[in-house]
Amino acid sequence: MTMAGIVMGVIIGGVLRNLEPSPDVVRYVGFPGELFMNMLKAMVLPLIAASIVSGLSQLDGKTSGRLGSRAVMYYVITTTHAVILGIIVVSIIHPGDPTIKQKMGLEEGETANVPAAQKFLDLFRNAFPENILRATFSQVQTSYINRVNSNGTRRLVPVTGYINGMNVLGVIVFCIVMGLVISKIGAEAKPLANLFHALDVVITRMVMIIMWLGPIGIPSLIAQKMLEVTDLWATGRMLGWFVFTVVLGLAIQALITLPLIYFVGTRQNPYKFLRGLGQAIMTALGTSSSAASLPVTFRCLNKLGIDPRVTKFVLPVGAMVNMDGTALYEATASIFIAQMNGLDLSIGQIVTVSITATLASIGAASIPSAGLVTLLIVLTALGLPANDVSLIFAVDWFLGRLRTSVNIIGDALGCGFVHYSCEDYLKEDAE
């Protein structure tokens, strides 16, 4: 039903585009999608908290450690590969040249001014929030303000403030520690473990109800986006090679590399697994957010028979930090922008891209276009103008959906990887 809905969404969007609907009509078209997205997002906080705490409190410390280390190993291998692949495809295809920038009429801008190191520290500031309730709706962000000194001179100083949006990283870290402590304490903390377990069961059932709205919500989101995009063909022509490069890289990562790593680690058929993820992939295409797709990904993994003790712990963490699609995109887009500025990158700069693209993917929130925002980290490190991000803005609505799908494919295969490679430990733990 969702698949048929997506086709309908594209047709409705395509037909209505010709009628040039007013902005009000565009909002009406997207209204069911807006509600669907809200419902999914509302599930994210209770789902993450309940699943991590109940998952970890069921495991003994040793097993959690093993699952965790396998997951981290998988994240490191796949993210590193995504970044290297991105660098290779963009260097071979070389989609960027300075005339594109001229044609798009972008003024020379300033270099981005928040140093990558500060952004990196923000990651840790968010991981350890000072107030866990506040972390459920706002996150830390450092910015620079102009301060006037006593002698009248001005200087830029960093200030740490809050911006809207759930600090998922902080919530995850808090819940991981809580789950581990509950399991360590044992009988005395059992009521708390039961509470989170019950919450998990209830939220999972609520997600099942919401999923019935997918075949209406997802096409509505897609049709709305198609109506909002202006100059589809003009930007398509100019950025066509860039889009092709990213799509090719993402396709290789999702259809060859990840399945291969999964197969090597588990000896299971990865394509059978991918087929079972259909609904989650479609939700990612529709919502462009791995957080909003999280409830659906959970459901798909349960149906695929992945041990809930693995999914509950590994999936939310993966959705937050493991973003293969975004990592590949950060590398490709930053080198594309460098090419448009007529810059040939040295080996040192390529190493810089690899490191910062990895950090930028870890730091990106699981919400639409987050990767575009954290691209600034890579551009800053390369000394490129911050407002060059606007050059690729026109195609981000499309590429953002694709990279989100690759992100969730990576997270889901990661759960499968941990499940099959820790089967013995899990059996032992259950006994």
288 near ligand ASP, rule: CB under 6 A: yes
404 near ligand ASP, rule: CB under 6 A: yes
Count CA within 13 A, CB hemisphere, residue 305.
5
354 near ligand ASP, rule: CB under 6 A: no
* Residue 217 or 400 with smaller CB distance to ligand ASP: 400
State how far the Cα of 155 lies from the Cα of 233, in Å rounded to an integer.
45
Instruction: Tell me the site size for ligand ASP, rule CB under 6 A.
Output: 16
289 near ligand ASP, rule: CB under 6 A: yes
Q: Least Å distance between CB 65 and ligand ASP?
A: 27
CA-based end-to-end distance of the chain:
41
Q: Least Å distance between CB 371 and ligand ASP?
A: 3
State how far the Cα of 96 lies from the Cα of 336, in Å rounded to an integer.
5
β-strand partners of 156: 146
Q: Least Å distance between CB 98 and ligand ASP?
A: 26
78 near ligand ASP, rule: CB under 6 A: no
**Which residue, 172, 167, 134, is CA-closest to 53?**
172
Stretch that binds ligand ASP, among 57-65, 93-101, 102-110, 287-295 (CB under 6 A): 287-295
State how far the Cα of 354 lies from the Cα of 47, in Å rounded to an integer.
33
Stretch that binds ligand ASP, among 32-40, 206-214, 224-232, 367-375 (CB under 6 A): 367-375
Length of the chain: 431
290 near ligand ASP, rule: CB under 6 A: yes
Cα Rg for the chain, rounded, in angstroms? 22
Instruction: Kindly tell me which residue out of 245, 403, 415, 418 binds ligand ASP, with binding defined by CB under 6 A.
Output: 403
82 near ligand ASP, rule: CB under 6 A: no
79 near ligand ASP, rule: CB under 6 A: no
* Residue 63 or 224 with smaller CB distance to ligand ASP: 224
Residues in 172-191 that interact with ligand ASP by CB under 6 A: none
Stretch that binds ligand ASP, among 211-219, 268-276, 345-353, 360-368 (CB under 6 A): 360-368
112 near ligand ASP, rule: CB under 6 A: no
Q: Least Å distance between CB 364 and ligand ASP?
A: 5
State how far the Cα of 43 lies from the Cα of 33, in Å rounded to an integer.
16
Q: Is the dihedral of CA 128, 130, 136, 141 positive or negative?
A: negative
What angle, 0 to 180 degrees and rounded to 10, lies between the N-to-C axes of helices 23-57 and 168-185? Answer: 20
Tokens representing 3 are 């698949």
Stretch that binds ligand ASP, among 86-94, 135-143, 199-207, 401-409 (CB under 6 A): 401-409
**Which contiguous run of DSSP H or E holds residue 409?**
helix 390-421
Q: What is the 3-state secondary structure (H, E, C) of 290-323?
A: HHHHHHHHHHHHHHCCCCHHHHHHHHHHHHHHCC
Q: Do 374 and 330 meet the contact criterion of CB atoms below 8 Å apart?
A: yes
323 near ligand ASP, rule: CB under 6 A: yes
86 near ligand ASP, rule: CB under 6 A: no
Stretch that binds ligand ASP, among 174-182, 220-228, 283-291, 416-424 (CB under 6 A): 283-291
**Which positions touch ligand ASP (CB under 6 A)?**
288-290, 323, 326, 364, 366-371, 400, 403-404, 407
